[in-house]
Structure 1
Amino acid sequence: MGVKGLNQLIKEHAPSAFKEYQLKNLFGRKVAIDASMCLYQFLIAVRQSDGQQLTNEDGETTSHLSGMFYRTIRMVENGIKPVYVFDGKPPVLKGGELEKRLKRREEAQKEQEKIKETGSVEEIMKYEKRQVRVSREQNDEAKKLLDLMGIPYVNAPCEAEAQCAVLARDGKVFAAASEDMDTLCYQPPFLLRHLTFSEARKMPIDQIDYKLAMEGLGMDQDTFVDLCILLGCDYCETIRGVGPVTAFKLIKEHGSLEKLVEYLEQNPDKTKFKVPENWPYKEARELFLHPEVEAASEVNLKWSEPDVDGLIEYMVKQKGFSEERMRSGAEKLKKGLKGGVQGRLDGFFQVVSTVKKDTKGGAKKRGATTDAKGKAKKRK
C-alpha cells in the first residue's frame, strides 16, 4: 500500500528532491527492484486484446513472465543492471493489512459475479483486476526465468522494499525501485518509481533524492518515520480524520508520535482526533528503523550471459512463447550487459573546485576534472 499522501507532501515541501528521467538516463546504474510489486503490475497491465491475461495452451497465466522478460531486456538495452528482490515472510503487524486486502478481493469477486451477465467488458475487467495477487508459484516462475536470463535476484528475509533500500544505502546498487513510498523510511539514497511500467503508459521515471527530501521537509529519519506512520502505513491503522496536511502539521508541532499521543490524550476537549486503542505505533516504528534484512556485504550480485537453450525449453516448450522472440531477447541481453560494463562517466570522473587568482588579485574558481584515483586532468 505504501504511505498515503507522502508523494505529494514531498513534492510540495521538497520539489528539488524530484527528478524525471527516461530509461536511457540511468545508463550504467545498478538498481534493486521490488519484484513482487512489478510482477503485480505485469499481471494487471500485460493483457490480450480482449482484456484477458496472457495464458499458454494449458490455461496457465503467463502475463508476469512476459512482463518480466521484455521489461528486463528493455532496461538492460539501456545500460541498466537490474537485480530483483523478492518478499520473504510478512511482519506480524502486517497481518491486518493483508486481511483487508483479502476481503477487498473477495468483495470484488462478488461484485463481478453480480454483473457477469449484464455488465460491460470494462466493468467486469475492473473487478477482475481488483482480484489480482501474485502467487508463490508465480514468484517461483519469475525466479526461474531470471536464472535463465542471467539476472541476479535476492530472497529478502522480510519486506522486499527494505532489502532494496539497504542494498542502495550501503552502495551495492545505485537506487531502490518500488512504487511503495514507504521505501524511503529505510533511507535509500535514491528511490525510483515507475521504472517497471511499460512504455505504453508513457510515464517518466521519478527519482526521489532521500537527503533532499529530508532537508525540504525539515526532518531527520526518526521524525520522518513518525510522519509516515501518521499518514498511514501497512503496519497500523491511522488516527481518523488526520489527512496528509494535518499529519505534517501535527508532527512539525509536536516532534514525535509520543508527544502527539500524549497531547491528544490529555486534551480530549481541544481536538476532534482520537488515538486508536492499543495503537502499535512504536512497534511499527521499530519495523521501519530496524528492518529484518540481509546485510549488503553478504549479498553477491552477478550478471551473466543468458542460457539460451534453457530459455527455449522453459519459455517456448513449456510456456508457449515464440522461439524467435526468445532468441532475439537473449541476444539483446548479451549485447546490453556487455555494453553496460562501460559504466557511467560521472562514476569515474568527478568535478572539484580549484582556486586561481585573476589579474586583479582576486580569487577565481575553476573546475578541474579528476579521475577515480584523484589525479587532476586538464580541462578541454
Structure 2
Amino acid sequence: MSIILATPPSLALTASDFFVSDLCTVNSTIKKVCLNDTISKPGTCYEDSCCTSFETATSWHYRIAQGSHVVFSCLGIIVIAIYVLKYASKHMLPSNVRVLVSIMLLLMFAHSIDMIMIHVYHISKSFQAISSIPCSVRVQVSFCALFRYTFSFCTLGLAFCQYCLYIDRLFCALYNNYSKYQDVIQYVLVLKWISMTAGIIVWVYREEDSDSYLLSCLNIPLNSMVDLSFVTAAVFPINIVCCFLSVIMFRHFKKKENRTRFELNSHFTAAVDVESSEFLYIVTISQAIFIVIYPVLSLSMRFFYEDTPRPLHLTFATLSYVFSIYCFVIPFVMIDYGRKRDDTRRTRIWSHVKLKSVGAEGADNYFGMMKSQWE
C-alpha cells in the first residue's frame, strides 16, 4: 500500500483557523490530506503530516544532517578523552575552577553520548520505514523525554556552570577570606548550578503533551517552544557578561601577580589565578561564538520558513543545532591552550638551563635577572 497524497476540494479549516488552533506554526501555502496518517490530530496541516515526516526522514540530506551530529559527537568524545588524559593535569587551575571545568567536560561528554544515541536510532529507523506505514518514522514525546531532558540539561547546564565559574572568580578577587571558605563556596556553587538547571528544565517541559508525536527527539514539543524561547533569551546575556568579566579578572590577577613578586606564596597563587583567567577567557570567547551563532541560525530559519519546503526546513533546523560541534570545538580549544602553555613552559626552562652561570657572561645573566625583579 503506497502513500496517497490528494488535494481536497474543500478544507475543513481555513488558513487562519489552522493558525489559531495551533495545529500549524505558520499560515500554510500547501495543504494536502495524507490518507495513511493515523496519528495526527484532525485538521493537522500538510507540513506536520506523517507523509511529510516520511519524506523527510528517508531523504539523503536529512540523514546527512543527522549523521553530522553523530560524527561531531564521536569526535567530541575523543577530544575530551585526550584533554583529560594528557592536558588537564598540566593546567595550573585553582581547585574550584578545576571542579567546575570538570563538570563542563562531563556535561559535554553526556551530551555527545545523547546525540549519538538519538541520531543513530532515528537513522536506523528511517532505513526500516516502509511507505505504507508513514507514521512509523515518528516517535512519541514520552519516548523522547529521557533524551530531551538529558541534552537540554547539558546545554543549559554548560551556561550556568560558566556563570558559577565567574562567581567563584569574583569571590576570589573581592573576598579576603576566600581561601578559608573555598570549599564552602565550591559546594554552594555546585548545589546552585544543579538546582537552577534542573528547576528550569522541569519548568520548560511542564506542559508538554506526552501523547503527541515528533519526527525527531531533537525537536522541542510545541507546548514547550515559547517557554524555551524565554529561557534562551534570558540565558543569552550570561555569556556576554562572562566575556566582560574574563577580561577584568585577567587584569586584576595580573596586577596582583606583579605586586607580590617578593612574597613567594602570594605570588604563586596570583600566577595560578592569572593562568586560570587566561584559560577561562579563551574558553569563554569560544563558547560565546556558538551562543551567538545558534539564535542567529534559528531566527534565520523562522524568517524563511514559509518559503522553504518542510523537508528542507527540518534539515536546516537539525543542522542549526550547533551544540554537537560545540562539544567538539571547546575541548579542542582547551587542548590547544594546554599544548601552547606546555610548549611555552618548556621553552622557558630550556632558556634558563642554557644560560651560563660562570664568568663574565654568567655575571651579566645573574644581574640581569636580579634587575628584572625590580622592573
Same-fold status (TM-score > 0.5): no
TM-score range, shorter chain: under 0.3
Q: Judging by fraction of residues, say which structure has more helix.
A: 2
TM-score for the superposition, normalised by structure 2: 0.25
Q: Judging by fraction of residues, say which structure has more strand.
A: 1
